[in-house]
Amino acid sequence: MFNAHRNMEVTTQPGPFARTEFQTGLFECCDDCCTCMYGYFCLPCLGCSIASDMGECCLCGLGMPIRSVYRTKYNIKGSMCKDFCISQFCLPCAACQLKRDIDRRKQQGIF
């Protein structure tokens, strides 16, 4: 007996398991000038704000670990290697992108 379901290939996850993207791009700082200025003039303060939003210690602040935790929680596409590179070479932009995404999710009621 032939099983029709045996030859079906799953290419995307259904429902809430579908991989998403960040809601703004890495270099879209002009979308939220206040966050951009906050990150530019006081990056450690922005890091503490992000950590606080995520319920983490302020010392966790910025960088690859917090970005990876956030991506995993909201099933955002990417990898730890990409998180490391972005955090290493574009930390202010990465922090601003993360804060913009948090703020948008709060407005949408999904944070």
> What confidence category does residue 111 fall into, taking pLDDT thresholds of 50, 70 and 90?
confident
* Whole-structure pTM value: 0.80
Place of tokens 């596409």: 77
Residue 8 has pLDDT above 60, yes or no: no
**Bridge partners of residue 2, in order along the sequence:** none
Give the integer Cα–Cα distance in Å for 104 and 13. Answer: 24
Give the integer Cα–Cα distance in Å for 65 and 71. Answer: 10
For 46-100, what is each residue's pLDDT tens digit? Answer: 999 999 999 998 877 688 999 999 999 999 999 999 999 999 999 999 999 999 9
Count Cβ atoms below 10 Å from residue 96 Cβ, excluding itself: 27
Give the integer Cα–Cα distance in Å for 66 and 46. Answer: 13
